[in-house]
Homo-oligomer: A and B are copies of this chain.
Amino acid sequence: MGFFRIFLFMSLVSISVCQENLNPDLPRPLIIELQESIEPQLRESVEELKLQCGSWRLAVETNNLSPWKTIPEECADYVKEYIMGRAYGMDLERVSNEAGLYAKSVELKEDGKDVWVFDVDETLLSNLPYYAEHGYGLEVFDSVAFDKWVDKGSAPAIESSLKFYEGVLSLGFKVFLLTGRSEEQRSVTVENLISAGFQNWDKLVLRGFEDHGKTATLYKSEKRSRMVEGGFRILGNSGDQWSDLLGSSMSIRSFKLPNPMYYIP
């Protein structure tokens, strides 16, 4: 793809720039001439790459991409900058604000059957400390290493989500947590959630033995259907994956948190 050519071009440019820096004896006018001819091209390539990676990220967030295993290599810096800069936090906050406006706008019945469903990872808890060590999605997912990280129980809260979570509870919603984590991780998940500040959920649903091998879309749809069969009304659903939100027994409104680091089908 075109990405690769840009990547190659930029590598060559950076090599040639480095070589110039290693040659302090070159007459000064030559350096200026070289920089003048390289800089606009370099800037253009950086802009082009930003544009391409921005377009890739939009495709991720709108669920247009086919299942993918890692972020494009040439977008590694772009994704890191997005996550570690202000944009990711700003996007997360906006989701909670919009969800909050909706949550306040709906009238709850008196029967305690109005539910908000939350995913856990990258929705309530942040695994950034883990992903920072693994290239922000550049490495193929390693379930052994990730489970080790989960077992530490030290994932911090996404602050804007915690605030929204507390708001939802205070409005009188029942809160159901529906996670792709396995039943064996229940106690460490409970401990982690509590130490991160989450309390008073009504249900924590994890993958049981019978759910292994199912796609997240199917597993979560089945669990939502069971909630609906139990008489609950799913008014809101928050998740960072479309597989948290789509399928059967969908919520009245769904809120997609940003996540350009990984994809779960």
Residues of A whose CB lies within 8 Å of any CB of B are: 51-52, 54-56, 58-59, 61-66, 86-87, 90-91, 94-95, 98-99, 101-102, 105, 254-256, 258
Contacts and interface: CB of A to CB of B under 8 A. Distances in A.
Contact of A59 (B51, B55, B94): B94
8 contacts: A51-B90, A59-B94, A61-B61, A62-B256, A63-B254, A64-B98, A66-B98, A66-B102
Contacts of A64: 94-95, 98-99, 255-256
Contacts of A59: 91, 94-95, 98
Number of copies: 2
Given A64-B98, A66-B105, 9 more contacts: A52-B90, A55-B90, A58-B258, A59-B91, A59-B95, A59-B98, A64-B94, A64-B95, A65-B98
A223 B113 CA distance: 31
A61 B87 CA distance: 16
Given A62-B61, A62-B62, A98-B65, A87 B254 contact: no
